[in-house]
Structure 1
Amino acid sequence: MGLEVAWAPSPAPWELQRQIGDDSVDFGLAVLSRWPIISARVWRLPIGGGVDLARIALGVDLQTPGGPLPVLTTHLSALRDGSWLRQRQVAVLGEALRTLDAGSRRSIVTGDLNATPDADEVRALTGGTSTPHVGMRFVDAWAQTRPAELGRTLDPANPHVSGDVPSGRIDYVLAAAGGAEARGRVRSTELVGVEPVDGVMASDHYGVLARLRC
């Protein structure tokens, strides 16, 4: 695709390999960018018991026409009763963001947080909780541009989603709310990957496309 790539493999891919029956497949996080990736760093997140996988966050600095842009992407615990664990993971994201952002208040956070917007772990990022949060407040791009729409990214209408999985919006693009650039930073959002291509759905989750002004 002609894009810059930062790739961070999962430190424990074997559970997903077992689930799909193929130990040759790797798993991890990636950032693809039209702009140069100046640097990349990986943070290990706390993990729980059972089949919960090792979790990481990947942070990069992009050299954009408007200057350096810190981007952090992650995939939090999928444990059904794991809000306590995801809150611990978000606390580590806070440490990562303080290092990555370095006071610029320009950071973008993306990923599958495995939690709906009213969950404490998400509210810790968006400033909706009185409990200690990450030290920065982020604007939920979907909520800012489409506040009346559910925007389910995990939807039983998707044939890859099993019937016992609760539906909801659990995938996010979050933009730092501090600084002079905050007003009007999020221009639009939409779901992508909601229709099959040649009979195949791209994922069990729909994607979130956000257009940001940097």
Structure 2
Amino acid sequence: MTFQEVRFPDNISRGARGGPERRTQIVELASGDEERNASWANSRRRYDVAYGIRRADNLAAVVAFFEARNGRLYGFRFKDWGDHKSCLPSQIPGPTDQSIGTGDGTTIAFQLVKRYASGAQSWTRAIAKPVAGSVRIALSGVEQSSGWSVDTATGVVTFSAAPGSGVAITAGFEFDVPVRFDTDALDVTLDLERLGSITSIPLLELRR
């Protein structure tokens, strides 16, 4: 995957619209009942950043960013202001926020994940783009200041020594969403005051 480790401008992403999308097949039966099947095992996020453009300077920044990414060619980081932490948005990430595995005395690498739960149901999302300097790790509830490293391009945490059998491994972090532009053309309009506008700038989450 062609990806550049650069983040879309925060001051524009803050005003974006979007969120998770799922794909469900629904078949209506002759009786009026319906059968539903999930086409995707995981959700995929879509955004429209045109809503974050409020000034001509914002427009110029987006055009420059679009050109530097060659339209849809290169992926990049995007901060989803509604979902960018291992904890609730109002909280500070802590080392016990999310379970990322259990030690077996052999495994040294663990993928960062975030679990979404409601009632008895839950879904676990792999986190591939943690924010540098934000990751905190704990073993059996005790924060570890050393003995591990994290690859901010993949979200994989690697320990210098394998955690012991049965040891709970937890993490807290901030993260970005890997996305790309979902268009190769920007339709820019200039009004009488020479303030630019774009009707839509779609972004699509990149999945492995």
Q: TM-score range with shorter-chain normalisation?
A: under 0.3
- Report the TM-score, using the length of structure 2 for normalisation: 0.28
Q: Which has the higher contact order (CA 8 A, sep 6+)?
A: 2
Q: Normalising by structure 1, what TM-score?
A: 0.27
Which of the pair is proportionally richer in strand? 2
Higher fraction of helix:
1
Between Structure 1 and Structure 2, whose CA radius of gyration is higher?
Answer: 2
